[in-house]
Amino acid sequence: ASELWRARWGADSRSLSMATATSIMRVQQLLLARFDAIAGRHGLTFARYEALVLLAFSRSGRLSMSRIGERLMVHPTSATNIVQRLVAQGFVERVPNPTDRRGAFAVITDAGREAMEAVTADLEAVDFGLGMLDDDAHRALFELLRTVRVGARDFDA
């Protein structure tokens, strides 16, 4: 679509922004389609895999639903849905939150950790779909994206 926009509005800064934004969206879609297919081999979606990664690397090994939603940048309803499916698969357990009776913590199980490692190995085997970039290109791309994240006040950047 960016080519059409450029034809209409000319190559000024705003159409540069449109072109870059469109490209970011497109590349994310291409990667997500690939990652979903890979996660699917292990009975997961990429979103559920991301939740497992988050839990596996959380300091206390457990996270509240609200924190999961926040970190994954998904709606609380989606976070609940993701965790419910992981619980049904035996990859996550719910434990009560002692300080909030209505809340609950999610904890990754051994089976969840194994599934996560299996997906990770497959993603690594295809270089996370980014084998067309050499190390310098990776560093340049990461830095440019970091500039965007800092500018957008990403708490993790």
Residues lying near a second copy in the complex (CB under 8 A) are found at: 1, 4-5, 13-14, 16-21, 23-35, 53-54, 57, 73, 123-124, 127-133, 135, 137-142, 144-152, 154, 156-157
CA distances 92 to 37, 43, 73, 88, 106, Å, are 21, 14, 19, 8, 6
50/83 with CB nearer a second copy? 50
54/87 with CB nearer a second copy? 54
CB of 98 to a second copy, least distance (A): 26
How are beta strands 62-64 and 104-108 bridged, if at all?
Answer: antiparallel
Two tokens, residue 15:
């159409």
CB of 154 to a second copy, least distance (A): 6
How are beta strands 104-108 and 92-96 bridged, if at all?
Answer: antiparallel
98/155 with CB nearer a second copy? 155
How many whole angstroms separate alpha carbon 6 and alpha carbon 23? 14
CB of 101 to a second copy, least distance (A): 30
